[in-house]
């Protein structure tokens, strides 16, 4: 049984700016080294190290040794999902002052980024809209479903979903409310599959040191042909 102390422990871990920065930096599913995380959290490596060991001890992160580097990543998708939930609330907390000018980095993040293992930002939302409008998926606040025709169509595009080993015989997908767009994008198995598809074929590429993504020329063509998205 979960007691309140265990809950508070998790909250405490997230409730520290440096650690929150580390966790959000890892939200895109990448594995980063301790020093990289220190830099993006704005603290010294010693401090980051202490944070990382605490996060790892609590099973929020896992470490992978590779030479003299230690790569840190989120322990599993559930942790990402929890962080999503917190970000959802955090976004609504302070009606943040209407920013007049967005920094270029912010703009890039809004445009396209990864969210653990799937697309988010305007790109993520545009893909979701396209899938909904052509009846490939159906969305609700809490749930999503891939229609039979959608399943077949995605298959033709080369996006394979493997629902074997699943409790259900229908292919589900998960809507994830985008905190920048305030509209749902596709998460879950389908979101992961789409993201992987684009990554493998180098249709998108990570902008170094951010969670932001850049759509390559081939990617632009693919977005138009697959999803009818023209302005990327």
Partner DNA sequence: AACATAATTCGACGACGATCGAAGCAAATC
Partner DNA sequence: GATTTGCTTCGATCGTCGTCGAATTATGTT
How far apart are CB 121 and a second copy at their closest, in Å? 10
Six token digits for residue 218: 């081939």
- Build a one-symbol-per-residue string for 122-141: x at contacts with a second copy by CB under 8 A, - elsewhere: ----------------xxxx
CA distance linking residue 76 with residue 91, whole number of Å: 23
Map residue 65 onto helix, strand or coil: strand
On whether the CB atoms of residues 112 and 122 are closer than 8 A, the answer is yes
**Residue where the block lists tokens 């010693």:** 46
- Build a one-symbol-per-residue string for 47-86: x at contacts with DNA by CB under 7 A, - elsewhere: xxxxxxxx--------x---xxxx----------------
Specify the pairing of strand 61-66 against strand 213-215. Answer: unpaired
- Build a one-symbol-per-residue string for 22-41: x at contacts with a second copy by CB under 8 A, - elsewhere: -xx-----------------
User: Which residue, among 181, 227, 187, has the nearest Cα to 203 in the 3D structure?
Assistant: 227
CA distance linking residue 51 with residue 57, whole number of Å: 10
φ/ψ of residue 2, rounded to 5: -80, 125
With CB under 5 to 8 Å by kind, the binding choice for 158 among DNA, a second copy, none is: none
180 is a contact residue toward a second copy (CB under 8 A): yes
On whether the CB atoms of residues 146 and 159 are closer than 8 A, the answer is no
Which of 188, 193, 203, 212 is in the footprint of a second copy by CB under 8 A?
A: 188
Pick out residues in 78-117 that bind a second copy (CB under 8 A). Answer: 78-79, 81-94, 96, 99, 102, 106, 109-110
63 is a contact residue toward a second copy (CB under 8 A): no
Classify residue 185 as exposed, middle or buried by CB count within 10 Å of its CB (0-12, 13-18, 19+): buried
159 is a contact residue toward DNA (CB under 7 A): no
Q: Which residues bind DNA (CB under 7 A)?
A: 12, 16-19, 33-36, 43-54, 63, 67-70
Interacting residues toward a second copy by CB under 8 A: 1-2, 4-17, 19-21, 23-24, 58-60, 78-79, 81-94, 96, 99, 102, 106, 109-110, 138-145, 166-170, 172-174, 179-180, 187-188
């Amino acid at each position: 049984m979960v007691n309140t102390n265990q809950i508070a422990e998790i909250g405490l871990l997230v409730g520290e700016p440096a650690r929150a920065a580390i966790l959000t930096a890892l939200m895109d599913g990448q594995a980063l080294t301790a020093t990289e995380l220190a830099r993006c959290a704005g603290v010294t490596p010693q401090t980051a190290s202490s944070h990382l060991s605490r996060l790892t001890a609590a099973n929020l992160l896992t470490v992978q040794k590779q030479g003299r580097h230690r790569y840190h990543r989120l322990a599993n998708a559930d942790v990402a999902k929890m962080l999503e939930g917190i970000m959802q609330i955090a976004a609504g907390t302070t009606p943040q002052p209407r920013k007049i000018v967005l920094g270029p980095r912010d703009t890039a993040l809004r445009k396209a980024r990864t969210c653990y293992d799937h697309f988010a930002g305007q790109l993520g939302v545009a893909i979701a809209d396209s899938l909904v409008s052509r009846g490939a998926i159906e969305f609700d606040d809490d749930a999503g479903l891939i229609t039979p025709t959608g399943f077949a169509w995605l298959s033709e595009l080369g996006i394979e979903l493997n629902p074997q080993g699943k409790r259900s015989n229908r292919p589900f997908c998960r809507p994830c409310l985008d905190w920048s767009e305030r509209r749902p994008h596709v998460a879950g198995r389908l979101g992961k599959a789409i993201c992987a598809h684009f990554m493998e074929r180098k249709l998108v590429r990570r902008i170094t040191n951010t969670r932001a993504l850049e759509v390559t020329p081939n990617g632009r063509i693919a977005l138009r042909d697959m999803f009818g998205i023209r302005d990327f």
